[in-house]
Structure 1
Amino acid sequence: PQDSSESQAAVTSPVRSSRRGDAFTSSPGRDLPPFEDESEGLLGTEGLPEEEEEGEELIGEGMERDYRPIPELDVYEAEGLALDDEDVEELTASQREAAERVMRQRDRELEQGMGRMRRGLLYDSDDEDEDRPARKRRLAERAAEGMEEEDEDMIESIENLEDMKGHSVREWVSMAAPRLEIYHRFKNFLKTHVDDHGHNVFKERISDMCKENRESLVVNYEDLAAQEHVLAYFLPEAPAEMLKIFDEAAKEVVLAMYPKYDRIAQEIHVRISHLPLVEELRSLRQLHLNQLIRTSGVVTSCTGVLPQLSMVKYNCSKCNFILGPFFQSQNQEVKPGSCPECQSLGPFEINMEETVYQNYQRIKIQESPGKVAAGRLPRSKDAILLADLVDSCKPGDEIELTGIYHNNYDGSLNTANGFPVFATVILANHIAKKDNKLAVGELTDEDVKVIVGLSKDEQIGEKIFASIAPSIYGHEDIKRGLALALFGGEPKNPGGKHKVRGDINVLLCGDPGTAKSQFLKYIEKVSSRAIFTTGQGASAVGLTAYVQRHPVSKEWTLEAGALVLADRGVCLIDEFDKMNDQDRTSIHEAMEQQSISISKAGIVTSLQARCTIVAAANPIGGRYDPSLTFSENVDLTEPIISRFDILCVVRDTVDPVQDEMLARFVVGSHVKHHPGSKEAVNGDTNEVILPNTYGVEPIPQEILRKYIVYAKEKVHPKLNQMDQDKVARMYSDLRKESMATGSIPITVRHIESMIRMAEAHARMHLRDYVVEDDVNMAIRVMLESFIDTQKFSVMRSMRK
C-alpha cells in the first residue's frame, strides 16, 4: 500500500516528482525504489493501454492522501551544490527585483547579439520592463519627425555592397538594404570629400548653390570613383535609380546646412560631370539604352520652355473627391482608374491648385561639323532638359551632354515603318558648353613645350605663312591673309555695351583654276571648328537661322544656320557671287555685329555668330578684267565689300619662268603622293617649294593646328606700345588715294582691320604686346589688299 501511494503521489504531484528526479540524478549510486510507471516506460509501453483501459480515478476517495507530507522525498542532497542551505539568506523583495532586472538586461543583450526574439518567449506580458513605454514614446516622436529610425535599424548595413547575390544592378539598387547603404555612402561622400588642399569641396559648392538659389549640385565622376568606387560602378548601369537616391541624400545634406532651403527649391538635383567615356552620336546603339552616357554635338534647334506635369492631382467631377498624387514618368501619362470615394470611372479634371509642374525643354543636337566623316550626313538626336537645365544652351552652342539614353514610344514611327519601333531620346543630366578651353585642355605638356619652342624661332612668321596650304604653289599674299585670319584679333566689349569684333574676314576673288576653293578646303581641315557651304546651295535662312514647326508637337522651333553653327570658328562660303542679293543682305549683321536677330512666328531672339568668314567669288564674265576696279569686276555691293578686312585678287598671269616652276611643282606633288610611291610624306614638303616661298621649312600640319588653338586661347595681345600715329597717317593717305582713284571706298572699318591684323601677327608670335613689326605687317597686308583692287594702270603707279 505504501508503494502504490508513492506512485500515485509521483503521478499527481509534478513538484515532488521533479525533486525526486533531481535527487535521483544527483546521486546515481543511491538505491531508491523505482517508480512503477518509470519502469514500465523503460521496459516498454505494454502496460499503458491496460492502465488506460482500467481508467485510474484521480479525483475521488482517498484523494487527500496524495498531498500528505513525505519528509524523505523533500530532502535535497548537498552533493553537487555550490552553497549549503544555511549559507543562503532569503531574498528581500527589492533584492529579487534587482536580480530580475539584471537577468532581463542580460537577455536583452542576448537578443541584440542573436537577432530579435519575441519577448513573449522569455517573459510574460506582465513582466514588461520599465523602460518599454519610454522607448515606444521615443520612437513615436522620431517617426513624427520623419526620421524613421526603427525601419533603418531593421535593415542591416551591407559591408560588401558589390556582392549583388546574382541580381542585376538595377534590381539590386532597388532593394531596401542596398538602397539605404548607397544613400548613407553618398551622404558620407558629400560630407567628407576634400580636395588636394584639404578643403571640403561640397560644403563650398552647396554654399554657392544656395547663394544663387539654384537646385543643381555638380559631382565630378572621377572624385566619386576615387572615394566610392562601388557607387561609381553602379551609376552608369542603373542611372535612373542611382540618381534618385543621390538626389535624396544631397537634399538631406543641403537641408542640414540650410534648414529652410526647401522653401526655395523643392528638390536638389545631382549633376554628374567628367564621365570618362565620350560616345559619338553616331555610335549610340541598343546596348546604351537606360545607361548614363556622355556625348557632344552642336545644338541645332530648341523649343520654348514648357510646363510639364510633375505631380498631378485630379478632381472627381461626380463627388469632388481629390485623387492623387500621381507622379508622372517621362514615357507615359499616369491616369487614375476609378474614384475611391464613389467608385465612378470618371470623368476626372486636373486640380490646378495642387498640381506641381516642372520646366521642360526639348533640344536637338547634331554631330560637330569637324567630326563627320567625308560623304556622310551628320546624325542628330533629341534631348530633354528639365528643371534648371532649361535655357542652359541655345542654337549654335557646342555642348557636352551627360544624360540617360531612353527609348520613347512614337506612334508616327510605327505607322511609317509598318512595325513597332521606338524612338530614342537623351534625358539630360548635365550640360557643359564646349569652347577652345577644352581644346587647350587636350594639349599635353610635350605639345606646349614644342609650341613655346617654336614661338622663339625668329622666322616663325615665315614658317607659318609657308605652312598654309603647302600643296598650293605661290600665292604668298593669300597665304599671309589666311594665316592672319586663322589667328584672329582680340574682340573688345567695353562695359558690356558695344562689342567690336576680333575676327578677320577674307574675300578671295580671281580667275578660275587658281586654287580658291582648295584654299577654303585647306582652312576647313586645319581649323578646329569650320563649316563649309556654297553660295548656290545656301539660302539666307540656311546661313543665318530659321523657324520651323515641329512635326509632332506642332510648335515653332528655332533652327540654327551655318553662321550660327560656326560660332567661335570659321565659316567658309564658296561661290559667294552666286548668292541672291536678298540672301547676301542677311549676313550683313553677322559679319559686323556677329549676331543674328530673329523675329518670326512669335520667337524674338538674338543668336551669336562669332565666326571668321572666308569667302571665294568669281568675277563677272568668268575672268578678272585688270582695266576695271574691284567693285566693277565683282557682283557685290559696297556694304558687303567694306565688311571684308582683306581682299585678295588672284590673277592668272602668263610668266614662262613661274609657269615652268608651277608645272614642276604640280608634277612632283603628284609623283610624291601617288599611292604606290615609297617616299614618306612629311608635311607636303619638297625641294620645289623652298626657293619660291619663304626659304624656310614648313611646320607639320598637326603641330600647326595645335599652335593655332593654343595661341587663340592663351595669348591676348595689348595695344599699349602700338604706334598710333603711323596707323592714323596710313588711314588718311589711303582715304585720299581712294577718293582720287575711285576704287574701293576706305572707311573707319579699315582702321579696325589694321588693328586686328596687328593683334593677329602678335598672337602668331605668342607676344602679349603689339610691337612695331606687327603694325608694319598690318600696313603691308592692307596696302597689298588696297593696291591689288585697283585698275592695272593705277596699280602700276602705286607700286612704284
Structure 2
Amino acid sequence: MSQVERQELEEFRGFYRRYYEDDIAELAQRYPNEQRSLYVEYDDLYRFDAELAERYLNKPEDMREIAEEALRTYDLPADVSLGQAHVRLRGLPASNTIDIRNIRVVDDHIGSMVAVQGIVRKATDVRPKIVEAAFECQRCGTMTYIPQSDSGFQEPHECQGCERQGPFRINHDQSEFVDAQTIRVQESPEGLRGGETPQAIDVYLEDDVCGEVTPGDHVSVAGVLHIEQQTSGNEKTALFDLYMDGVTVTIEDEEFEDMDISDEDVAEILELADSPDIYEKMVDSVAPSIYGYEQEKLAIVLQLFGGVTKHLPDESRIRGDLHMLLIGDPGTGKSQLLSYTQNIAPRSVYTSGKGSSAAGLCVTGDTLVHTTDGIRRIEDIVTPDIPESVETETAVERALDLYTYDEATGETTVASTSHVWRMPPKPCRRIETASGTQLETSRNTPVLTCGDDGPEWTPISEVEAGDHVGTPNFDGIERSSPATDESAEDPDGAPAMTDGAVGSTDGADLEWDRVVTTVDTGEKELYDLTVPETNNFVANGVVTHNTAAAVRDDFGDGQQWTLEAGALVLADKGIAAIDELDKMAEDDRSAMHEALEQQSISISKAGINATLKSRCSLLGAANPKYGRFDQYEPIGEQIDLEPALISRFDLIFTVTDQPDPDHDAKLADHILTTNYAGELNTQQTEMTNSEVTRQQVEDVQEEVAPVVDAELLRKYVAYSKRNCFPRMTDAARDAIQEFYVDLRSKGADEDAPVPVTARKLEATVRLAEASARVRLADEVTADDAERVIEIVRSCLQDIGVDPETGEFDADVVETGTSKSQRDRIKNLKDLLREVDEEYEDEPGAPRDQVLERADEVGMDRSKVEDEIEKLKTKGDLYMPDGDHIKVV
C-alpha cells in the first residue's frame, strides 16, 4: 500500500469515528444476516474533507476499496468481524446526478460515480454469481482458487499440486458466491416531452442491494459508469454500450419527482387558480385544434387532476384515479384527444391496443418442426417433458438443435432451444399457401412476411390472402435473386412476388410463398419452443416467431427470464392512454380487470411470481364493432369488450358523427383556421422570400392556441396532486347522495330494472374531488358536486339507458344484457318449451309455430329471430334440422 493510500485509509477511519460510530456499532450487531452495508451520505463526507469526497467521485472503485478496508480494520470487539461488509455512498451532489440521455464520454462520466433517476423497466431474478472459484484437481485433490471478473470465467491452466492440466471440478462449498441481479432503468415519463423516446441504461447489482426493486418502481441509482464493446456475431465493432455497476438503489416515494416547479411557476399557478373561469380555461387548453367536445374535455381535465386516494384503518384502499372510455365513430378525433392528454399529463404512457403484445405465441400440436434430427411434430417434442394438459402456460428446460432464421445474415442456421412449452387452449388461425403449406397458430403469433422494406414480423391474425410468408430453402440449391412479374401488380401498385421467389436479402436462402386462404379455427391446445437470440423456428416450413410468456432476458447471456413493466405499470401514479382498446389481445384485456379496480397486476409466468403496481388512470378509446355507433342498440352489443371490463370505467362517452349544418359550418371554420395558422407558420419559417410576417402568424395562431400553455398545465396538475387533498362538505355530500338515491328509486318497483349501482356513486365522489383540485381548493363544495352530477347523468343517458324501454338500466353496462332482453329470453325459452311439448312427436319446436306464437303473445318477430340466433351461438339452443328448435 502506498503512502497516499495509507493516508486515505487513516482519513476514512477518522471520518467513521466522527460521523458513523453508532452506525458501525449497529452494523456489527446485525452483520452478516440482517445487514451487510454501511451507508454513507456524500454531504457528511464533503463536510469532513471536500477533497476526499471529490476523489471518491472521480475514482470510486479505488476509493471504495480503501473505505471498505478502513471499515474492516475499524476498532471493534475481538469477536466481531466485518470481513465482507460494503461501504455504499449515496446522496450524490446535483452535479453528478445526470439524465440518462445526457451521459457523455466527452464529459468524463465514464469511470466516475454518478446518479441516474428513472423507472425500473426490466428486472432479472436474483441469481448466485461466483466471485472466487475453487477448482479441485481430479487427479490429486489440490484446490486452486481463482478470482473471477465480469470479463469471463477463468479456469486454471495447470494444477498447483501435480502440475498437470486437469481435469478440474468446481468445489461449490469452497467457492465464494454473491447474489447478482440486472435491472434496466428507463427515464421517467414525467421527465419527457411529447414525442421523445425514453432512454435506458442497464445496472448490475450485487449482494444486499439485489431483489429490492420491482418493475414499475421509480428509483434513484448511484453507481460507476462503464463501457463495453459491442459485437456482431463473433466480430467486435467500433461501438460501445454504456452500463452501470450499481452501488445504491433508492426507491423514490415522491410523486412527480422530476417536475421542476419554480417559485415563479407557483405564483403563476396560484393566480390561475383564482380565475373565476378556471374550468373554461382548462377546457380550452385541452386539444384546442379539436373543435367542440366541451364535456369530454372537462372530463379529461378532471381525470388529469384525479380524486383523492383513501387509506382506511383496515389497510384497505379506495382508489382516487378516474378511468374514462371514449367510444365512437371513426374520424371524430378520439386518438388526437388521447395523444394530447398524454402530452400534458405530468406522468403518462401512450400505447395502442392493436400493437400490444400478449403471452402465448405458439403453434398447434400437429405442427412439424425442422430439427437437425429430421422433421418432428412439436407435440412429440414437448409431451415427454410435459405429458399432461395444463391450465397455465408451463415451461421445462430442454436443449434441442433445430433450424432458425438469422435476421442479421438472412440465412437459415442451427440453434439450440432453452425451453419447451405447453399452453392451455387459445383462439387460433390457419393460413394456407399456394404451394399447399398450412400453418395453424394462436392468433397473435407473428410469422415472417415480405414487407415494403424487406422481411418483417406480422401477427398471423393480420396476414391476408395475397401476402407472402417466408419459407427457408433447405435444398442448398442456389437461386437467382427475387423473381418478380412486372406485368402483374398487386392492388396497391407494387410488383407482385411470384410464388417461390427468393427474398431480396443478399446471400439469403429464404423464399416467399403466397398466402391463398386464411380461416379462424377456434380454441386449441398449443405448444412452443424458446430459441434464444433469434426467437424463431421453422414451423411447417414457415418462419414463425416465438415469444415466451415471460420476456426473454436480453441482458448478458440471455439465459434468465426477466419481468418487464408494461404500459399500465410504467404509468404508475399517472395516466395510461390506450388507443384501439377493442383490438387488444384477449390475454392483455383479462389482465386489465385487476389493473383497473385493484390497481395492481399479478404475474405468474416462467417461474416468476410478482405483483406490480399500476396506480394509474386509464383513458381508453375504442371503435364500435360495425364501424359506427347505433344509439338504438345496447352498448354491450356494439363494442368488442367484456361487460365486466366496461363497467370498471367511471365515465363512458359516445362520440358520434351526426350531420348538422350549423355544427358542421363551425367545425369546418375551425379546421380551416387551424390549417391556415399552420400554413402561415410554415411559410414564414421555411420560405426565405415569404411575405408573411411574424405578427400575422401570431395573430392567427392566437385563435387556436391553448389558453393555458401545455408546460404550465403540466406543472399545475403536478402541483395540485402533490399539495391538494380536498375533503367533502356536507352540502356536496347531500347533493351526491340525493342524486344517487333519486336514481335508485326508479328501480324500486318489482319489475323495474336496477338503474345504477354503487360503482357510479364512487365515481361521482372521485369526480367531485377532482373538480375541487382544479381550483386547488381544500373542500369539495355543492358546486363541484352539481358540476360532476351533470357529467355523470349525461353519460348515463348515452350508455346506461335500455334503448327498448328508455329507462335507466345498470345491467346494460354491468352485464351487457338489459332487463328487457333477459325478460324476452326467459319468455322465449318458456315459449319454446311449451311448443316443444305440444309437438312431442317432432324433433323440436317447429320454427314457424314459434314465430307465429310470438306474434300472438306480443313479442316482436324480428327480435325473436335475433334472440334465437344469439342463443344458438351461446349454445343455449340448437336446431336438429333447419325447421325445428330445441332448448339445451
How would you bin the TM-score normalised by the shorter chain?
Answer: 0.5 to 0.7
Q: 2:233 aligns to what SS in structure 1?
A: helix
Residue 397 of structure 1 corresponds to which residue in structure 2?
217
Please name the residue that 1:652 is paired with.
657
Which of 593, 602, 619 aligns to 1:588? It is 593
Greater C-alpha radius of gyration: 1
Q: Is the 8 A contact 2:189 2:346 kept in 1?
A: no
After TM superposition, give the deviation of residue 750 of structure 1 in Å: 1.4
Aligned mates of 1:682, 1:775 — CA distance in 2: 39
The 1:683/1:502 distance shift into structure 2, 3 A limit, reads farther
Quick one: which amino acid aligns to residue 592 of structure 1?
E
Q: 1:671 to 1:750 in 2, by over 3 A?
A: same
- Following superposition, the deviation at residue 240 of structure 1 comes to 1.2
Tell me how far apart the structure 2 counterparts of residues 495 and 237 of structure 1 sit (CA, whole Å). 49
What is the aligned partner in structure 1 of residue 743 from structure 2?
Answer: 734
1:245 aligns to 2:66 (yes or no): yes
Alignment check: 8 A CA contact 2:349 2:576 kept: yes
CA separation of 1:286 and 1:463: change in aligned 2, threshold 3 A = closer
CA distance in 2, matches of 1:683, 1:290: 52
Selected match of 1:550 from 553, 570, 584? 553
Residue 151 of structure 1 is matched in structure 2 by: none
* Equivalent residue runs for 1:169-184 within 5 Å: 176-184=2-10
Distance 1:786 1:554, change over 3 A: same
Matching residue of 1:89: none
1:787 deviates by 1.6
Q: Which residue of 1 aligns with 2:638?
A: 633
How many Å separate the matches in 1 of 2:565 and 2:695?
Answer: 45
In the alignment, is the contact (CA less than 8 A) between 1:398 and 1:433 conserved in 2?
yes
* Residue matched to 2:781: 771
- In structure 1, what is the Cα distance between the partners aligned to 2:189 and 2:316? 30
Specify the code of the residue in structure 1 equivalent to 2:663. Q
Q: Contact between 1:365 and 1:380, CA under 8 Å: does it hold in 2?
A: yes
Q: 1:609 to 1:601 in 2, by over 3 A?
A: same
Please say if 1:751 is aligned against 2:767.
no
- 1:616 and 2:621 equivalent? yes
Q: Please give the secondary structure, in 1, of the residue aligned with 2:330.
A: coil
The residue aligned with 1:46 is none
Structure 2 letter corresponding to 1:362: T
Change (3 A) 1:373 1:456: closer
Is 1:711–2:720 an aligned residue pair? yes
1:482 match: secondary structure: helix
The residue matched to 1:405 in structure 2 has which SS?
Answer: strand
Q: Summarize the Cα distance change of 1:654–1:204 in structure 2 as closer, same or farther, 3 Å threshold.
A: farther
CA-to-aligned-CA distance 1:283-305 (integer Å, 9 cap, x gap):
54555443323333432222211
Q: Structure 2: which 5+ runs fail to align?
A: 361-443, 445-547, 685-692, 809-888
Does 2:318 match 1:500? Answer: yes
Q: CA RMSD in A?
A: 3.8
Q: 1:650: Cα distance to partner?
A: 1.9
3-state secondary structure, aligned to 1:524: helix
Query: Cα gap change, 1:205/1:660 in structure 2, threshold over 3 Å: closer, same or farther?
Result: farther
Match in the other structure for 1:678: 694
User: Is contact 2:348-2:575 (8 Å) kept?
Assistant: yes
On the 8 A contact 2:193/2:343 being kept in 1, the answer is no
What does residue 459 of structure 1 align with? 277
- Shift of the 226–611 alpha-carbon distance from structure 1 to 2, 3 Å rule, reads same
Q: Output aligned runs, 1:322-721, within 5 Å.
A: 322-324=143-145, 326-369=146-189, 378-408=198-228, 413-415=231-233, 417=235, 424-434=242-252, 436-437=254-255, 439=257, 442-495=260-313, 497-541=315-359, 546-550=549-553, 552-673=557-678, 674-675=681-682, 676=684, 678-679=694-695, 686=702, 698-719=707-728, 721=730
Q: Distance in 1 between matches of 2:182 and 2:110?
A: 19
- Distance in 1, Cα, partners of 2:180 & 2:715: 39
- Asked whether the 8 Å contact 2:96–2:113 carries over to 1, the reply is no
Q: How far has the Cα of 1:486 moved from its partner?
A: 0.6
Contact 1:440 1:710 in 2 (8 A): no
Count of paired positions: 603
Structure 1, residues 464-484: CA drift from partner, whole Å, max 9, x if none? 233222332221111111011
Tell me by how many angstroms 1:273 deviates: 2.7
C-alpha distance in 1 between matches for 2:786 and 2:588: 37
Aligned CA distance change for structure 1 residues 347 and 526 (closer, same or farther; 3 Å): same
Per-residue deviation, residues 243-300 of structure 1 (Å, max 9, x unmatched): 22223334556x65x886647x830322333342444444545554433233334322
CA distance in 2, matches of 1:572, 1:425: 31
1:634 match: secondary structure: coil
For 1:588 and 1:476, how far apart are their aligned partners in 2? 29
> Once the two structures are superposed, what CA deviation does each residue of 1:463-508 show, in whole Å capped at 9, x if it has no partner?
3233222332221111111011111112233346433322100111
* Larger proportion of strand: 2
Counterpart of 2:764 in structure 1: which amino acid?
A: M
Separation (CA, whole Å) in 2 of partners of 1:344 and 1:315: 12
- Please point out which of 777, 784, 794 is paired with 1:784: 794
Counterpart amino acid of residue 468 in structure 1: V
**In structure 1, how many angstroms separate the alpha carbons of the residues matched to 2:13 and 2:699?**
55
Deviates more, 1:340-349 or 1:373-382: 373-382
Tell me how far 1:334 sits from its aligned partner: 4.5
Contact map agreement 1:718 1:770 (CA 8 A) in 2: yes
CA deviations 1:222-247 (Å, max 9, x no partner) are 55445533233323332211222223
1:21-65 per-position Cα deviation (integer Å, ceiling 9, x unaligned) = xxxxxxxxxxxxxxxxxxxxxxxxxxxxxxxxxxxxxxxxxxxxx
Q: Which residue of 1 aligns with 2:857?
A: none
Identity of matched residues, %: 33
Whole-angstrom distance in 2 between the partners of 1:297 and 1:541:
26
> Alpha-carbon deviation of 1:406?
2.6
Aligned mates of 1:448, 1:252 — CA distance in 2? 51
Contact 1:626 1:792 in 2 (8 A): no
Provide the secondary structure at the position in 2 that maps to 1:472: coil
Cα deviation for residue 616 of structure 1 reads 0.9
- Give the counterpart letter for 2:116 in structure 1: T
TM-score of the superposed pair, with normalisation by structure 2 = 0.61
Structure 1 residue identity aligned to 2:220: E
Counterpart of 1:533, as a letter, is: T
Deviations along 1:318-343, whole A, 9 cap, x unmatched? 4444444x443333344444444444
Q: The residue matched to 2:178 in structure 1 has which SS?
A: strand
Partner deviation per Cα, 1:592-613 (whole Å, 9 max, x = no partner): 1111111112112211111111
SS in 2 for 1:554: coil
Aligned-pair CA distance for 1:782: 1.2
Structure 2 counterpart of 1:172: none
Moved more, 593-602 or 550-559: 550-559
Q: 1:181 Cα deviation (Å)?
A: 2.4
1:188 counterpart = 2:14: yes
Deviation at 1:580, TM superposition (A): 4.2
Contact 2:190 2:258 in 1 (8 A): no
Q: What does 1:200-219 align with in structure 2 at a 5 Å threshold? A: 202=20, 213-219=34-40
Q: Which has the higher contact order (CA 8 A, sep 6+)?
A: 2
Q: Any conservation in 2 of the 1:629–1:743 contact (CA below 8 Å)?
A: no
The C-alpha deviation readout for 1:353-378, integer Å capped at 9, x for no partner, is 44332211112233445667877765
Q: In the TM superposition, what is the alpha-carbon distance from 1:518 to its structure 2 partner?
A: 1.0
Q: Secondary structure at the match of 2:61?
A: helix
Match of 1:271 among 82, 89, 92: 89
For residues 497 and 436 of structure 1, do their structure 2 counterparts lie closer, same or farther at Cα, with a shift above 3 Å needed? closer
Structure 1 runs not aligned, ≥5 long: 1-174, 193-199, 690-696
Partners of 1:211 and 1:761 lie apart in 2 by 53
Q: How far is 1:557 from its partner?
A: 2.0
Aligned amino acid, residue 678 of structure 1: R
